[in-house]
Amino acid sequence: MRAVWAAARAAVRRRRLQTFVIGLVAFLCTATVVVSLALLDATSTPFDRVFAAQRGAHAVAAFDRALVSDAQLTGAREGVAASAGPFAQATVSLESDDPGPWLRGPLRVVGRAAPDGDVDRLDVWQGRWATGPGEVVLNAVPADGERFAQGPLSAVSEVTVGGTTLRVVGWAWSVSASADAWATPAQVAQLDPAGTQMLYRFSGDVSSREAVRQRLSGVTTGLPGRSLLAAQPYQVMKDEAAETAGVYLPFLGPFGVLGLLVAVLIVGNVVSGAVVSGFRHIGVLKSLGFTPRQVVAVYLTMVSVPAVTGAVLGTALGVAGAYPLLSDTFRDLGYGQTGVPTWVWVAGLLGVPGLVLLTALVPARRAGRLSAAEAISAGSAPRRGRGLRVQRALSGTRLPRSVSLGLGLPFARPARTALTMASLLLGVITVTFATGLSGSLLRVAALGTEAGGDIGIRPGNPDFNETMSTRTHQEVEALLRGLPGTERIGISVTRSYAMVGQSSPVQVDFVRGDVAAMGHERQLIAGRWMSAPGEVVAPTEMANERGLKVGDTLTLEVAGDRMTVTLVGVTMMGLPGSGDDALFAPWREVPGATPDDYYYQVEVAEGTDLAGYMGAVRAADPGLSPWDNSGGDDVTPVVTTFATVLALLLATVAALGVLNTVALDVLDRRRDLGMLKSIGMTPRQVITMLVTSMAALGVVGGLLGIPFGLAAHRLVIPMAADSAKITLPDSVMAVWNPVTLALMVLCGVLIAVLGALLPARSAARLTIARVLHNE
């Protein structure tokens, strides 16, 4: 064993470049694998991950306090693995100073002394837990400091329920949605709680709603009938999570798969090349008396040293890189507070070294079986030429000889060429897909931003102690049109209608002014923009959810006001103020509408200072509340950042694969290179020859990879749109033109050239005398 270690150590020292390349490839591949796996894990099981971390409740049960005592509830434990409660639960109505649209209707306030426990360990992500009278903690998805400060939550300092004003001292997140708000038990007792909450984690099967219901029946057995008021199985929240986080999976999942494929290919190429190029050394070892098994052990040890080092460093980099990306991404959805899962760490630390060993084992065993003489001669004996016809054809062309020789090189080692080509192909697919993805998302974001206008304005609401504008909507429009910088204005007023044949009500935005010209008309996916009374346009999400299509006739009714309209078009999104569940309709006066029911969106002239414009609006009428509406959506920056980082990482790994191939080619062809230099090949011609050999692969990889990248783009964007229940206009997919496609081919060439340049330059500097006389 000592001899094996000594020989392996010597081999590592002697082959510093190769050891470095293996280590670097292991490092980058491990980082890629860790980020990819963390990504796949995060996008496929975000709910499960956070549910496990919070020890979420399989069932959130509310019991009637009048029918069942706390003692009865704590005693009922059949089939229960863990429980939390009993907690007093009051359902109260928010009073007039409603904090905002995100918190409406009845509020479930639960009395809990602490956020932790055996079940439903809350993430108190802002402020602190409620510990005294008059304090409350509200439930909301976490937001980081800056987002919190800029968002509407930071403005909420108190809520008034049941005549009691409670000071908001913190914000917490329950993946089980166990409450809307929490206060101390004593505080909730003052809110006249009618229910008692119990949170259960069950042993046994909880895989379906029915199974959870059966487990729950075990708990309620023996309790008074009808004492269980309501029970929410965790699947309700899981399904909701799948709708939100699921949008990311089609975007980011392919990168994970591509990352894994590239890692496997590159490791295979680098390691098998390292062993094959060491055949001569293997022969020497055997002639010294090393057994085949010892030879295999030497080579496995030799590649393990850089592989393990690279894997450890790569795992650290991958985790360090993945954590903030995933945390930032999924925190907004409520699923980002846990780190990279342990199995990803393990896969990073063991997976790539394991893959390296497996890849090395095949050629190492082959080398072990060779006789000493065969192994020694494998590196130096004249080879039967390969790719001969190609070389012959190329030698007769008018191309410079260094170029034609380079073009023929890939044919000499078809297996190595195939692996290199595959990694280049995947690199090009990744870059093409990432480019298409980013382009489409940016177009979606641009459409949204354009349609949203630069500035949104609503008159103040006296209920929120805001100054109310005394102007009519016509006067407000005139005022805004008169302000310097105003280019376009759209005005809307919203009214809720019952839709005949549908159970839930529908909002209708009556619009006038420049709404169509501000981008909504350009967002049309089907049909046309409305042009006459009685015509409406629906956002795609609404049309999909309600099964509406162009040409449908809808009957809308409210308080005796009945109208029949025809759906003439479907657009990508609705007005920013109303969301994607409101119909566009031509303007009409809405009786009883208050000033704050009107929404104005303004597009300013290019170069206008938005802050200055908003100041001018406030100065012109203190009763108007303007805000900056020019920001994009949340998904675009996250996905484009991920796409860019992963595309760069995978392109770098692909370039390393090329670097390794050229380094091996140079090693194999040292004698040929020396000879070529001896008969007058200049250093530049040497570089040209070697770079051409890979650039040719880059061109082929580019040409072959682009269709796959385009196909992935064409497949994934509609899939993501389906997850978000929207349809995208064709213009979103039309991000390609001949120039960008040519750039993608060039990208394959660039990866190949960058990878080849370093070893080609070192080949150009080979000392001919040493090469030719070292036979």
Partner 1 sequence: MTTETVVRLDGVRKEYGETAALDGVSLRIRRGEAVAVMGPSGCGKSTLLNMVAGLDRPTSGEVTVHGERLDLMSETRLALFRRHHLGMIFQFFNLLDDLSALDNVALAAQLTGSPAGTARRRALELFDELGIADRRDLYPAALSGGERQRVAVARALMNRPALLLADEPTGALDSRAGEQVMDLLIDLNQIGQTLLIVTHDERLAHRCASRLVEFADGRIAAESTLDRV
**Positions in the binding site for partner 1 (CB under 8 A):** 382-388, 391-392, 395-398, 400-402, 405, 408, 412, 671-672, 674-685, 764-765, 767-769, 772-773, 775
State which residue, 382 or 482, has the beta carbon closest to partner 1.
Answer: 382
Least distance between partner 1 and beta carbon 147 (Å): 58
Structure tokens at 710: 């385009």
Minimum CB distance to partner 1, residue 773 (Å): 6
Compare residues 419 and 764 and give the one whose CB is closer to partner 1. 764
Report how far residue 520's alpha carbon sits from residue 448's, in angstroms, rounded to the nearest whole number: 9
Paired strand residues for 565: 554
The smaller minimum CB distance to partner 1, of residues 208 and 682, is found at: 682
Whose Cβ is closer to partner 1: residue 368's or residue 410's?
Answer: 410
Alpha helices in 595-724, H assignment, sequence order: 610-620, 635-668, 670-678, 683-723
Nearest to 374 by CA among 285, 293, 288, 280: 280
Amino acid at 636: T
Closest approach, Cβ 668 to partner 1, in A, equals 11
Location of structure tokens 């000033």: 595
DSSP annotation of 201: E
Between 287 and 395, CB nearer to partner 1: 395
Smallest distance from the beta carbon of 676 to partner 1, in angstroms?
8
Q: Is 57 helix (H, G, I), strand (E, B) or coil?
A: coil
Contact call for residues 713 and 433 (beta carbons, < 8 A) = yes
CB of 691 to partner 1, least distance (A): 17
Write the DSSP string, 105-171. SEEEEEE-S-S-SSS---EEEEE----STTEEEEE-----HHHHHHSSGGG--EEEETTEEEEEEEE
Q: Which is nearer to partner 1, 395 or 496 (CB)?
A: 395
Please identify, using beta-carbon distances, which residue of 244 and 402 lies nearer to partner 1.
402
Q: How far is the CB of 331 from partner 1 (least distance, A)?
A: 57
CA pair distance 731, 721, nearest whole angstrom: 14
Q: How many CB atoms lie within 10 A of CB 316?
A: 17
Q: How far is the CB of 763 from partner 1 (least distance, A)?
A: 12
Give 496: exposed, middle or buried? Use CB within 10 Å, 0-12, 13-18, 19+.
exposed
Distance CA 354, CA 341 (A): 20
Q: State the minimum distance, in angstroms, from the CB of residue 636 to partner 1.
A: 50
The minimum distance between CB 407 and partner 1, in angstroms, equals 12
**CB-based contact 483:626 (threshold 8 Å):** no
Q: At its nearest, how many Å lie between partner 1 and the CB of residue 766? A: 10
Which string of b and e fits 660-689 if b means at least 16 CB within 10 Å? Answer: bbbbbbbbbbbeebbebbeeebeeebbbbb
C-alpha pair distances (Å), 774 with each of 451, 665, 674: 72, 17, 11
Q: How far apart are the first and last CA of the chain?
A: 31
Q: Please name the residue that has the structure tokens 């191309």.
A: 399
**106 or 400, CB closer to partner 1?**
400
Burial label, 192 (beta-carbon count in 10 A; 0-12, 13-18, 19+): exposed
Question: Cβ atoms within 10 A of the Cβ of 465, count?
Answer: 8
Q: How far apart are CA 665 and CA 694, in angstroms?
A: 11
What does the block give as tokens for 87? 């907690």
Q: Which is nearer to partner 1, 387 or 579 (CB)?
A: 387
Which distant-in-sequence residues (6+ apart) come within 8 Å of 717 by Cβ?
A: 436, 437, 440, 728, 732, 733
Q: State the nearest-atom distance from the C-beta of 273 to partner 1, in Å.
A: 19
Residue 385 beta carbon to partner 1: minimum distance, rounded to whole angstroms? 4
User: How far apart (Å, rounded) are the C-alpha atoms in residues 468 and 449?
Assistant: 28
Q: How far is the CB of 388 from partner 1 (least distance, A)?
A: 6
Q: Which is nearer to partner 1, 635 or 673 (CB)?
A: 673
CB of 348 to partner 1, least distance (A): 41
Residues in the chain: 775
Q: Which is nearer to partner 1, 217 or 678 (CB)?
A: 678
Q: Which lies closer to partner 1 via its Cβ, residue 289 or residue 382?
A: 382
Q: Least distance in Å: CB of 751 to partner 1?
A: 26
User: Do residues 341 and 60 make contact, with C-beta atoms less than 8 angstroms apart?
Assistant: no
Beta strands in 443-545 (DSSP E): 455-459, 486-499, 506-513, 524-527, 535-539
Q: How far is the CB of 749 from partner 1 (least distance, A)?
A: 24
Cβ contact 274:22 at 8 Å: yes
User: What's the closest the beta carbon of residue 291 comes to partner 1, in angstroms?
Assistant: 32
Q: Are 35 and 318 in contact (CB under 8 A)?
A: yes
Beta strands in 234-353 (DSSP E): none
Kindly give, in sequence order, each residue whose CB lies less than 8 Å from that of residue 16, ignoring residues fewer than 6 positions away: none
Q: What is the DSSP letter of 588?
A: -
